[in-house]
Structure formats: C-alpha cells, structure tokens
Amino acid sequence: MILITENRQDKMAERRMQLDLQVSLLVDQKLSKLIDMVDELRREIRPGEKQHDPQAEAMKETVDPHQAVSTLDRLIEEVEEEE
C-alpha cells in the first residue's frame, strides 16, 4: 500500500514538473514577444536614438523547448548517476 502511494505521488510530482516547464516556456515566449513589441515602439518614438540594444536583442530570444528538455534530462541523469 505504501509503495502504491509513493508511486502515485512520484507520478503527480513528475506531472507537476512537466506542467511547470510548459508554463515557463509559454511565459518565456510571451515575454519575448512583449520585449520585441516594446523595442519596436522605442524605435518608432525615438528614431534618432541608438537603434541596437544588445540587452533587448538577447531578451527577445525564446528558449528552445527541445533544448531545454534535453538539458533537463541530461541533468537528471547526472544526478541519478551520482546517487
């Protein structure tokens, strides 16, 4: 009975982690789009100002979900190997 409960808890924890990752990736995409829109507005309002903002350009890049998942899998494997 205890093992069944632990397995169920582990599955729920894994689902929560997957959901957290999906939500985080979605938030990242939305924030990147907002940063892009604000940067466009800045260029339209002040056309003579510095056109290239390296920080804004870096923040416009969204996280690649496949790369994030593979990195997460690799880190999990490393932790499991240490145990």
Q: What is the dihedral of CA 63, 64, 68, 74, to 10 degrees?
A: -140
Interval 23-72: pLDDT, tens: 998 899 999 999 999 988 888 888 776 677 788 788 888 888 788 888 88
Domain segments of the chain as ranges: 2-82
Please give the Cα distance from 60 to 68 (Å, whole number).
Answer: 17
pTM above 0.95, yes or no: no
For residue 69, which phi and psi values (nearest 5 degrees)? -65, -40
pLDDT at position 68 is 80
pLDDT at position 30 is 92
Q: How far is CA 6 from CA 2, 12, 19, 34, 39, in A?
A: 6, 10, 20, 42, 49
Interval 2-24: pLDDT, tens: 777 888 888 889 899 889 988 99
Please give the Cα distance from 18 to 30 (Å, whole number).
Answer: 19
pLDDT at position 81 is 86
Q: How far is CA 44 from the centre of its chain?
A: 29
